[in-house]
Structure 1
Amino acid sequence: MSTTEPYSPDADEPPIGQVRRLRLAGASGAVPRARDFARTALGDWGWLPAVTADQRAAVEDVLLVVSELVTNACLHAGGPDELRLRLAAKLIRVEVADLGPGTPAPRTPHRAARPGGHGMFIVQRLCLQWGVERSVDSLGKTVWAELAAPL
């Protein structure tokens, strides 16, 4: 189930401050569902169709980060609980909540030729910043990443 916080659309301005949520707990095919959901949100927010190379790169970066964070939750945290996308004036914040106790980190040292373990390294390279917020009740966490909006 997905939800969208309401806003009044204006043809000239993106819906700054809008949040989109997709419940993923127990869902099969979480990664493709999350990517499709993100692609739809980006379209609604005016990021698509991407006309310039910079706009296309920004969209692909968001979709890749969504994929990597959801995949990480699937592999290491018992599955994602919820995907949230938050639109701000100059960035988008991707959040994936899960119930897992671990803390994701890029593999150090990063070895490009070695299979697996590249997800958080990719997130670190593509994002302005990223981090982990623990749930108030100590059950789980939210892994978040912020990317610049296309020019």
Structure 2
Amino acid sequence: MDFTRRPDAVRYARKAVREFVEERGLLEHHDAVEASEAEHTALLVVSELVTNACMHADNPLHMCLGLYGKKLFIEVCDDSRAVPALVCADKGGRDGGFGLGIVLAVADHWSFVRTRWGKRVTVLLPL
């Protein structure tokens, strides 16, 4: 699915993740607390990825959702060739830039690849 660089892009991306998970019943085997935590984690990660793409890219971005075994696959592509960077939390006075640290804390796997048109960031989350 494609998103334009607008303030509501994150909202639409979160809605897409929520619908993907619900339509496939991916969290039905969890109790209510585990399901809520897994959904919130997925929503947090997609928020971070889409926010970053909106901040650094010039054109619309593309998001792909899927399953890789029992993991949620989230991929965001944009036209920025900037390399995702981990920012240390002890850098006082900095606003933002901590999204990758959040993703690393909750993901089973993440990667990025530079492409002809920009980059592709991929995250696998446990369900």
1:127 corresponds to: 107
- CA RMSD, aligned part only? 2.1
1:102 corresponds to: 82
Give the Cα separation in 1 of the matches to 2:103 and 2:59.
Answer: 18
Identity %: 34
Question: Which of structures 1 and 2 has the larger relative contact order (alpha carbons within 8 angstroms, sep 6+)?
Answer: 2
Give the Cα separation in 1 of the matches to 2:86 and 2:107.
Answer: 13
What 5-or-longer segments of structure 1 have no aligned partner? 1-21
Indicate which of 65, 77, 85 corresponds to 1:85. Answer: 65
Higher helix proportion: 2
1:145 corresponds to: 123
Give the Cα separation in 2 of the matches to 1:32 and 1:58.
Answer: 18
Structure 1 residue 77: deviation in Å?
2.3
Q: TM-score, normalised by structure 1?
A: 0.74
Count of residues paired in the alignment: 125
* Secondary structure of residue in 1 paired with 2:54: helix
Does structure 1 conserve the Cα–Cα contact (< 8 Å) formed by 2:79 and 2:118? yes
Residue type matched to 1:76 in 2?
H
Give the Cα separation in 2 of the matches to 1:140 and 1:111.
Answer: 30
Tell me if 1:118 matches 2:98: yes
Residue type matched to 2:3 in 1?
L
